[in-house]
Chain A
Amino acid sequence: MGGRALLTLVRRAMVAIFAGVSVAAAIRVRGSGGVPPQKGGWRELKGPDLE
């Protein structure tokens, strides 16, 4: 393997590693899911709720 071919291989490997790390970092930071839909709200229990 010539010097030029070796350099190309190293460059491609570096690009592949960089792309992999970028995707992994993006997934890690953003998470794999979004915020689930939520409708409604919280209500305090008092009076008849606690009888």
Chain B
Amino acid sequence: MKVVLFGAGATGARIARQLRSSGKVACVEIRDQQQAKALRLVETLGSGTEVGEGRQIAADTDAVVLATPPGSQAAIARRAVHRSVPVVSTSNQMSEVRRLLTLGQEARHHSVPVVIGAGFMPGLTGLIARHAATELDFVDEIHVAKVGTGGPACARQHHRALSSTGLDWRDGKWTRRAGGSGRELAYFPDPIGGRDCYRAGLPDALLLVPEFEGVERVTARQAATRRDRLTAPLPMLRPPHAEGGIGAVRVELRGRVGIERRVLVMGAIERPAVAAGAVAASTVLHVLEGKAESGAYGLAGMANYLPLLRAIGDCGVRPMRFEGVTTFL
């Protein structure tokens, strides 16, 4: 099987490594706007990988993975769908996720899946939410949050998001809220612990709301410091790091079992680029096995999600569950 991977950054490199080591993909063709970067990655990984160029999708391609900086993925995804090639996108940009969601009808027409936001958050958070929802009769609220960034493109997007308008689902309506507002202290898996999280331009609600019928509230927040909030409207004051440190995601579901109200808190901890690489690569393998339905959706919409969640766990990114009592401000 042949997979074309766009993007040879921190996440792209992890995806290529995981696909190659799976033994199920004969060739991973790596393309990057900086040809030298793709070449370096191919030299590092060795056999089973090759450098490609351009945006054309060949007919013998079995799947396309998009790990390029946000904003550049929708056009390639559309091209792949027209060629009836399945797509796995790692985009976490709200406007781009919207554009990718509009590919749903075309994807169903061509009988291919377009999996959107296959990363740490969105991505793993959607799968965790789907899994947690099985314990509830009815899901009223979903609140997701994240700490940390992957490579430089992810850090730039994180910075931009904090000054962008956030989108909440509230009582059956979309509500626009200012980025950097709505401080909430949220507990992440140890050793991250409690972090202040704020609204930001995050696409999670767009991907979660269609998958949880009747859900009343969906919000997404990201951890930030006071300095992050202060400098968010400015250009980044220094170049982003090559890769961020340890990160975490947190998923809180509030719902009902019979007449009893319940709150479930789950999460995961890992370096965001490593986790995103594991999620995207496992999703590609899931798609190649024909387990994904046609259409455009996030991982929360994956019908057969448990094998995928287990495969991600086998890559070392294990979901966690908070057991005890927690109180939020």
Q: Which residues of A contact B (CB under 8 A)?
A: 28, 31, 33, 35-46, 49-51
Contact = CB atoms under 8 A, between A and B. Distances in A.
A36 B267 contact: no
Contacts of B196: 31
Given A36-B328, A38-B187, A38-B325, A45 B319 contact: yes
B329 A36 contact: yes
B320 A45 contact: yes
B185 to A, nearest CB: 6
A8 B322 CA distance: 59
A33 B329 contact: yes
B56 interface: no
Contact of A39 (B194, B267, B320, B324): B324
Contact of B318 (A35, A36, A37, A46): A46
B34 interface: no
Contacts of B306: 50-51
B328 A44 contact: no
B322 A36 contact: no
Interface in B31-80: none
Given A28-B226, A33-B185, A50-B306, A41 B323 contact: yes
A12 B175 CA distance: 46
Contact of B267 (A33, A35, A40, A42): A42
A19 B230 CA distance: 23
A35 B313 contact: no
Interface residues of B, number: 26
B241 interface: no
Contacts of A45: 131, 266, 313, 318-321
Contacts of B320: 42-45
A38 B313 contact: no
Nearest to B248: A42
B239 to A, nearest CB: 28
A31 B184 CA distance: 12
Nearest to B187: A38
A18 B231 CA distance: 25
Given A40-B324, A41-B190, A42-B321, 19 more contacts: A31-B196, A33-B185, A37-B325, A37-B327, A39-B326, A40-B322, A40-B323, A40-B325, A40-B326, A41-B323, A42-B190, A42-B267, A42-B322, A43-B321, A44-B318, A46-B313, A49-B321, A50-B306, A50-B313
A41 B325 CA distance: 9
30 contacts: A31-B196, A35-B185, A36-B185, A36-B194, A36-B327, A36-B328, A36-B329, A38-B194, A38-B325, A38-B326, A40-B326, A41-B190, A41-B322, A41-B323, A42-B189, A42-B267, A42-B320, A42-B323, A43-B321, A43-B323, A44-B320, A45-B313, A46-B318, A49-B321, A50-B131, A50-B306, A50-B309, A50-B310, A50-B313, A51-B306
